[in-house]
Copies of this chain bind each other. A is one copy, B any other.
Amino acid sequence: MGERKFIYESKSLPSWNNPISHAVVANNMCFVSGQLSVGLDGKYIAGTMKEESKRAFRNFFAAVEAAGFSKEDIVFVDIAFCDLNFLHEVNELFISLFPENKRPARTVYEVSALPFGGKIKVMGTAVKAD
């Protein structure tokens, strides 16, 4: 029977008051909640787009790892931002985060608002080989 895990906390993940899992593992898949520029105390940290992007990705990777998956297992990343003019910064970060020939699929779009007034939200899916 496949494994089902609900990841609520780890020392590398923000504590938060949201009534949701940071990530859920079902069989060989990991579904990660939308991650923002939030510190380990669960408080939003406002910053430049580059700073918020780095912190949101840091939390996204922390959730993937707390779930027992690795960055290499990430197959899809969904990025919502509040200003698509920053796509260039996000692309630069993406290049530094994922190896050239193994980059995940991705979608980007501009939304009118994110929780806490954040500038970027990162979520995604990881899959282990059967």
Contacts and interface: CB of A to CB of B under 8 A. Distances in A.
Range, interface on chain A:
35 or more
Contact of A105 (B3, B32, B109, B114): B32
Given A1-B130, A2-B129, A28-B27, A22 B105 contact: yes
Given A34-B109, A105-B123, A110-B113, 17 more contacts: A1-B130, A2-B28, A2-B129, A6-B103, A8-B101, A19-B100, A20-B103, A20-B104, A29-B75, A31-B125, A33-B105, A78-B107, A108-B115, A109-B111, A110-B111, A111-B112, A112-B112
Interface of A: 1-4, 6, 8, 18-24, 26-29, 31-34, 75-76, 78, 80, 84, 87, 91, 94-95, 98, 100-115, 121, 123, 125, 127-130
